[in-house]
Structure 1
């Protein structure tokens, strides 16, 4: 029996039209790590935050890839490249989603999580493992309730009943592992959305599974 930790992040919006500042993809990314490595990740990123603060960087926020300046990003990705974890990501090109898949945000969210976990869960968790699944808190209280229900349903479908699991929603600012998941998901989606491989290349060795769910699809619904 082992304790396994899965920290998740989503990237992209749930707006199903084309326009400026609207993402092409929605992505679910998960960082999988064991307990000793998790302690090291937290300690290492905490030390980096302190060092950056002494150099007058990152004084007003937590690590967040979208908002962080270049020097902070470089430092964080440099640290992540040295740590021991696995990262998996599933991408959904939103314009290829059939209308019933995107009838509401919770439905689309559930589809994204299902196709992601259906592949990775059997490869992560063994019977009798203890699993803590931590999702980044997002949206309003009503939205979080719907998303929690969606993830709960997917966990029941995709993870063996013999795995003892707990689901938590924590603010991204509260845990360095969530911030690491944010960074990894951002690097993959930046490569997809902008063709910028800079940061992806720094953590490519950590990425086990990058799956474009509807890559073979030809029909766009908007």
Structure 2
């Protein structure tokens, strides 16, 4: 029996038309860890980069960080035992009954993520602490 930590975030909206600025995909990405040592190491890296005068913002974020910062962050993450999994759903391929409501659609990718992406890597008796990002107001 072991303790594992799972963090998740989502990308894409719940709109099912092909208008401009509407996402084509809905994505759930998870990272599973057996310990949280990576968090302490990323804090340490951040402090080192501040002392070095590296171009970092208030926090690490791949969409805004410069390539040199991203490279060092990923290098640090790869030193740890992490499992990254993404469930990518092309919204145009959703069955009509699934696209009838946000709730009906939303539960499907999560089911597939947990059933096929996470469950095979969690043993009976393991404890799993799940931290999921909240759905923002802009996801409509």
Shorter-chain TM-score bucket reads: 0.7 to 0.9
After TM superposition, where is structure 1 displaced by more than 3 Å over at least 4 residues in a row? none
Give CA deviations for 1:117-170 in whole Å, capped at 9, x if unaligned: 111343122222211011012325xx9xxxxxxxxxxxxxxxxxxxxxxxxxxx
Structure 2 equivalent of residue 217 of structure 1: none
Structure 1 equivalent of residue 96 of structure 2: 99
Structure 1 equivalent of residue 70 of structure 2: 73
Distance of aligned partners of 1:68 and 1:21 in 2 relative to their CA distance in 1, 3 Å threshold:
farther
Q: CA RMSD in A?
A: 2.1
Partner of 2:31, secondary structure, is strand
Which ranges of structure 1 fall in alignment gaps of 5 or more residues? 144-222
1:22 Cα shift? 2.8
Distance of aligned partners of 1:78 and 1:131 in 2 relative to their CA distance in 1, 3 Å threshold:
same
Structure 2 equivalent of residue 176 of structure 1: none
Q: TM-score, normalised by structure 2?
A: 0.83
Q: In 1, distance between residues paired with 2:21 and 2:74?
A: 25
Q: In 1, distance between residues paired with 2:65 and 2:14?
A: 23
Selected match of 1:126 from 123, 129, 133: 123
Q: In 1, distance between residues paired with 2:39 and 2:34?
A: 12
Corresponding residue pairs, total: 137
Structure 1 equivalent of residue 16 of structure 2: 16
- Is residue 2:78 matched to residue 1:110? no
Contact preservation (8 Å) 2:28, 2:109 = yes
Give CA deviations for 1:157-191 in whole Å, capped at 9, x if unaligned: xxxxxxxxxxxxxxxxxxxxxxxxxxxxxxxxxxx
Which ranges of structure 2 fall in alignment gaps of 5 or more residues? none
Q: In 2, distance between residues paired with 1:115 and 1:103?
A: 19
